[in-house]
Amino acid sequence: MPYSLTDRTIAIAGIYQAAFLVQKIANTGSIDENSFETCIKSIFHIDVDKPEDVFEGADNLESGLNTLIDQLGGNIGKNNAQQNMQITKYAIGVMVLEKKLSKNQGMLNEISTGIERAKIQSEHFEITHENIIASLADLYTKTISTLRPRIMVQGEHAYISNPNQANKIRALLLAAIRAVVLWRQCGGTRWQLILQRKKIINKANELLGNISNK
C-alpha cells in the first residue's frame, strides 16, 4: 500500500519519543507514564492496518512530535529551544542498528519469539509491569545490544545503574527499533530527514494541532 508523509512523520515521532524517554530516564529518573506505555505497546503491535495503529493513534505521540520538531530545528527562533545532541545520537544509533538487524534473519526470529513470550506475560501483568519490561530488556541485551556500534546511554550514574531504570532504557531502545522498522516500511530514508526536513516539521505541527483541537 502507498504510504504518505503523515505515515512517515508518525513513525519518526515514534523513534524520537522513545529516544527522548531514554534521555529523560538517564538524566532525571522519571518519565511520563502514558508516553512510556505507548512505546512499550508499540513493540507488540505488529500486524496493523495503519502506521498510527502501532501507537494506538497519533494522539499518543505528543512528546515524540514535540521532540521531532525540536530536533529538526522547528522551534529555533520561537522558544529558543536547543537541540539535545544525545537524543539525536540515540535516534541515529537505532537507525544504524535496525539496518544491520534487517540483514540478520536469525536475530529477527529470536526477537520475534522473545516478543511473543513477553506478550504471553502481558496476559497476566500490566503492559508496563516490571516483569514484562525486564523480559523486553533481556531480549534487547541478548540480541540488538550485541550489534555494533552499541548505543552508549549517558546520564546520571544513580539512574542508569539502577536495574529497573536500566531495564526501562533497554525496553525503550527496543521500541525505538520497532519504530525504525515502521519508518522504513513507510518508505522512510535518512536522506528524507535532511531533504524533507521542513515538510516533516510542518506535518508534525499539523498533527500536534489536531491533538490540541480535540
pLDDT per position as a tens digit, 129-156: 999 999 999 999 999 999 999 999 999 9
Q: Is 10 helix (H, G, I), strand (E, B) or coil?
A: helix
The Cα 8–Cα 187 span in angstroms is 7
Give strand ranges (E) for the chain.
Answer: none
Domain boundaries, given as residue ranges, for the chain: 5-212
Classify residue 77 as left (phi > 0), alpha (psi -120 to 50) or beta. left
Is the pLDDT assigned to residue 83 strictly greater than 90?
no
Distance between alpha carbon 118 and the CA centroid of its chain, in Å?
Answer: 18
Predicted local confidence at residue 76, as pLDDT: 55
Average pLDDT, the chain: 94
Q: What is the pTM of this model?
A: 0.95
Residue 112 to residue 106: CA distance in whole angstroms:
10
CB atoms within 10 A of CB 210: 11
pLDDT for position 56: 97
**Would you call the peptide bond into 163 cis, given omega within 30 degrees of 0 as the criterion?**
no
- How many residues are there in the chain? 214
CATH superfamily of 5-212: HflD-like (1.10.3890.10)
Q: CA 118 to CA 126: how far, in whole Å?
A: 11
Q: What is the CA radius of gyration of the chain?
A: 16
